Structure 1
Amino acid sequence: MLEFSDTQITHWVAGLLLPLFRVGALLLAMPIIGGHLLPMRIRLYFSLILTAVLLPTLPASSLLLGFNLATLLLIVQEVLNGLLLGISLQLFFQLFVLAGQLLASQMGLAFASTVDPASGTSNVVLGQFLNILAILLFLAVNGHLLVIGLLAESFHNTPIGSGFLTSRYPVLLAQFSTVLSGALLLVLPQIIALLVVNLAFGFMSRAAPQFNIFSIGFALSLLMGLLLLWIGLAGFADSFSQLASDAFVILRELI
């Protein structure tokens, strides 16, 4: 009959549960998997499977010593470490939502919004279109596998029990400015072109007030915006590749 001591059981539980909290927090906060499209039970099963796959490659840990304050602090640390990576990925995809909102406000589609089933919030349709396109490209280039690789690497760079990584929080805060600048640069050519079109309408209305230019200006701005969006999609993959490379550089700084 096999017998196991309390020390062995504690070591095994620590080796499974503590990584599970980091993996689960990442899957809870990251896009695609962390949205409302997947039930919580499915995400929990996926967290267990992913933790079991990564477990042989992780450094040994036996820091879990019963249910006490030190254990709670370790759990909070691992949850925050996982959320740090997940929120950073969430900000990367919100970049495309923001870009769609900026472009929609210039072409007159800001009122066309619908509920996003993944986040449960109301977003502009154009922003959801760019977000879905970014998700498909992310999966096509195996970005999810890169995220899993960075997650496994994080256990070696920041082992369990490394403490609260407060020095890396400014990196996450700086990413908010990156989201705004990246979204603006993504649709800047279309915004400038639409601005020129609107200025032309303004000059025409001043030069010939008897013509009701603004009665057709909305339709022309909308058609011009859709045409510019169609033209800009030709270079969307290259822009996504550059933005994704910058995002993974930030992820490496966080781990």
Structure 2
Amino acid sequence: MPQGFAGIEQQLLVWMVAILRPGAALFAAPLTGSTQVPLQLRLVIALAIGIPAVQLSGVHLPADGMISAAGLFLALGEIVIGLALGFAVQVGFAAALVGGETISNAMGLGFASMVNPVSGQSSSAVGQLLMMMATFLFLASDGHLLFARILIESYGAFPAGGAVPLQLFAELSTLGGLIFAAGLAIALPVAAALVLVQLILGVLSRSAPSLNLFSVGMPAAMVTGIILLAMTAPLLADAILAAIRQGLDQAAGLAHGG
């Protein structure tokens, strides 16, 4: 074997370990986790983030090689850490989607759904609107750069090949509560006003039984909801941005071992 290729196998193993954590994080994170993002682009970004981070922090390869029980646990640990960081950043986007679904149901637009290009699943029209707003706010606030920095800093607390702390799973269990709380905070200004509209329509239906509630109530709720969305757009943007920052803070806490 030529002298220049003597350590190429060891170097390729280091690169393989380096791509696991960023690759899993990009798969679970917003924007890069979309089905429309090519796999080749994810691999290039994962290598660009993982190789310098692993070279700085070091990697502990198993003595028996990667095709062993120790190598399997190493790969699983890297994937679990990457998925945890990616899911934590998803908090803001998931909260925007929950808020959009709540507003859509209150407006009577729950049936108006379309395919979400990020997840590939159907979601309401208002949910799509808030998801696009979350995407613009995430990019405008340099969330993608902060996420890359969080990934690199995670190697300081959890070096490649080290043990995965059990408190990581306990902290992941709190993400569901954060998503629902942030989603309700996003939907509160519009949904609360729409509930009042529904109450007024209920009183009118009781006072005038001959009134066709479906022909009057549904257009009134839709028009009121559209007007409220236009009026409360700055408040919705602030709530979504706060949820995105909360997700990034959660990811930073996980990356630092807290």
Alignment TM-score, normalising by the size of structure 1: 0.91
Q: Which stretch of the first structure deviates more once superposed, 166-175 or 58-67?
A: 58-67
- 1:28 and 2:6 aligned: no
Structure 1, residues 41-60: CA drift from partner, whole Å, max 9, x if none?
2222222233345455x312
The one-letter code of the counterpart of 2:246 is D
Q: Is the 1:15–1:60 Cα contact (8 Å) retained in structure 2?
A: no
Matched with 1:103 is: 103
Q: Greater CA deviation, 21-30 or 236-245?
A: 236-245
**Distance across 1 between alignment mates of 2:62 and 2:33:** 27
1:118-129 correspondence to structure 2 within 5 Å: 118-129=118-129
2:143 & 2:240 partners in 1: Cα distance? 12
User: Shift of residue 143 of structure 1?
Assistant: 0.3
Corresponding residue number in structure 1 for 2:190: 190
Q: Distance in 1 between matches of 2:29 and 2:244?
A: 15
SS of residue matched to 2:90 = helix
1:77 and 1:49 map into 2 onto residues whose CA distance is 20
The correspondence of residues 17-166 of structure 1 with structure 2, limited to 5 A, is: 17-56=16-55, 58-65=56-63, 66=65, 67-166=67-166
* AA in 2 matched with 1:186: I
The worse-fitting range, judged by mean Cα deviation, of 74-83 and 244-253 is 244-253
Matched, 1:221 2:227: no
CA–CA separation in structure 1 for the residues paired with 2:173 and 2:125: 27
Contact 1:15 1:62 in 2 (8 A): no
Alpha-carbon offset, residue 104 of structure 1: 0.3
Per-residue CA deviations over 1:58-83 (Å, capped at 9, x if unaligned) read 31224244232211111111111111
Q: 1:92: Cα distance to partner?
A: 2.9
Over the aligned positions, Cα root-mean-square deviation in angstroms equals 2.1
TM-score normalised by structure 2 residue count: 0.90
Structure 2: gaps of 5 or more residues = none
Q: Is the 8 A contact 1:26 1:83 kept in 2?
A: yes
Give per-residue Cα distances to partners, 1:74-115, cap 9 Å, x unaligned: 111111111111122223311111110000000010000011
> In structure 2, the residue corresponding to 1:114 is in which secondary structure?
strand
Give the partner amino acid of 1:98. Answer: V
Distance (Å, rounded) in 1 between the aligned partners of 2:211 and 2:237:
42
Distance 1:18 1:60 in 2: 11
Q: Cα 1:92–1:244, aligned 2, differ >3 Å: closer, same or farther? A: closer
The Cα of 1:16 is off from its aligned counterpart by: 2.2
Counterparts of 2:241 and 2:26, CA distance in 1? 23
Quote the residue 2:244 is aligned against: 244
3-state SS in 2 of match to 1:32: coil
Checking the alignment, whether the CA contact within 8 Å between 1:99 and 1:127 is kept in structure 2 is yes
Percent identity of equivalent pairs: 31
Assess if the C-alpha contact under 8 Å between 2:60 and 2:162 holds in 1: no
Higher relative contact order (CA 8 A, sep 6+): 2
Secondary structure at 2:114's aligned position in 1?
A: strand
Alpha-carbon distance in structure 2 between the residues aligned to 1:140 and 1:182: 20
Separation (CA, whole Å) in 2 of partners of 1:232 and 1:16: 48
Structure 1 gap segments, 5+ residues each: none
CA distance in 1: counterparts of 2:160 and 2:130, whole angstroms: 37
